[in-house]
Amino acid sequence: MPLLAIETSCDETSAAVVHQGRVLSNVVSSQISLHAEYGGVVPELAAREHLRNLIPVARAALREASVEAGQLDAVAATRGPGLPNALLVGFKAAQAAAFVLGRPFLGIHHHQAHLYSAWLRGQPPVADFSKFQPNLSLIVSGGHTLLVHVRAELDHHVLGSTVDDAAGECFDKTGKMIGLPYPAGPEIDRLAETGNPKAYAFPRPMIDDPNNDFSFSGLKTSVRYFLRDHPGLLDDAQRVRDLCASVQAAIVDVLVTKTIRAAKRLRVGCVTASGGVTCNRALRQRLTAACERERLTLLLAERNFCTDNAAMIGILAERMLMLRSEPTTLDADILPNWALG
Ligand code: KG4
Ligand code: ZN
């Protein structure tokens, strides 16, 4: 069933066509450069940019997939969580398309879609759920840090989340203090490559707590005090790289330690990771090494499926239709604060 999926929850306008677990197209128009000037996503600008980009992006997705709108069997869109006005653009457009085509519509939970994005592999990307196994899933993005037990397909239980800043937010806010452009995560990753992760000792918040929650605002504050106490450090390129590597090591240490501990406690054999921060090379390396050591199968979302994309929305929507989930009504509203589970 060719299915058109739309994602507009934050600052990426994306449309994808999927068919039987295969991603036929996945077009993403990022607004990063638009928001960079403001040091973060400006909700009203994001919504207006989605309005401008959505139809061209959807057209491109259909063209790349060689699918005509009339051939679509279903339409899906992100229903939440996300920025209200941004969500509205994609959600209402998708409902209107489903109405005109007379096809079922599905409103999808953005984080639930991240849970399955790690299953997309290869070129063209295919999600092979015949290989599905219960897993512990880490979702790390600019807005969220979640540990989720995926007990079976479409059956998940949130174990913990951040009590304050998300991991990506910590990358972005500490990067801003260092003077890096928004979003700072990729830049810290790049600078950290030639830095010493043991140069400066930063706290690993909640690393020893037995729960599955995270907290990153204290780490951000300690970087602020560190910079106050080391005036002039930012003028020394090598010390900046050491600082980036040390901050990154603290964030990654907490994420990996708590993920592996939760996986072992639950006795699952598989770990998955997704969300923008999963692009981070240190996180990928450390999770890979830890899972090898613990004999856990690891599925890391491929880089283009880590950040927000409509392919993951489409893959989940198609799976839900196959497993006989009820379609969403055409007058349903967005759910900007929709909790997972
Ligand atoms: O999933 P995403 O595209 O959007 C949200 O839903 O937030 O994630 C964006 C976040 C930003 O905080 C960005 O700094 C972070 O992911 N990020 C990274 C890297 N690439 C993106 N953080 C660390 N290292 C990276 N390589
Ligand atoms: Zn996301």
- The per-residue pLDDT for range 171-219, each reduced to its tens digit, is 999 999 999 998 999 999 999 999 999 999 999 999 999 999 999 999 9
Distance (Å) from CA 112 to ligand 2 centroid = 10
Write down the pTM of the prediction.
0.95
Whether the pLDDT of residue 297 is over 90: the answer is yes
CB-CB contact of 139 with 275 (8 Å): yes
Exposed, middle or buried by CB within 10 Å (0-12, 13-18, 19+), for 302? middle
Ligand 1 pocket, residue 83 CB under 6 Å? no
The atom of ligand 1 lying closest to the CA of 167 is 12
Closest CA to 221 of 241, 242, 247, 189: 247
Mean pLDDT for the chain overall: 96
Q: What is the mean pLDDT of residues 8-27?
A: 97
Q: Which of 279, 283, 287 to mutate to test the pocket of ligand 1 (most atoms within 8 A of CB)?
A: 279
Residue 62 confidence (pLDDT): 98
Atom of ligand 1 minimally distant from the CA of 172 = 14
pLDDT of residue 41: 84
Q: Is 33 helix (H, G, I), strand (E, B) or coil?
A: helix
Using the predicted structure, report yes or no on whether residue 1 has a pLDDT greater than 80.
no
Q: Give, for ligand 1, the residue of 26, 140, 141 to mutate: max count of ligand atoms closer than 8 Å to Cβ.
A: 141
Cα of 114 from ligand 2 centre, angstroms: 7
C-alpha 137/C-alpha 156 separation (Å) is 10
pLDDT at residue 42 above 90? no
Atom of ligand 1 nearest to the CA of 182: 14
Ligand 1 pocket member 277 (CB < 6 A): yes
- Average pLDDT estimate for 111-115: 97
Confidence of residue 32 (pLDDT cuts 50, 70, 90): confident
* Ligand 1 centroid, distance to 276 Cα (angstroms): 4
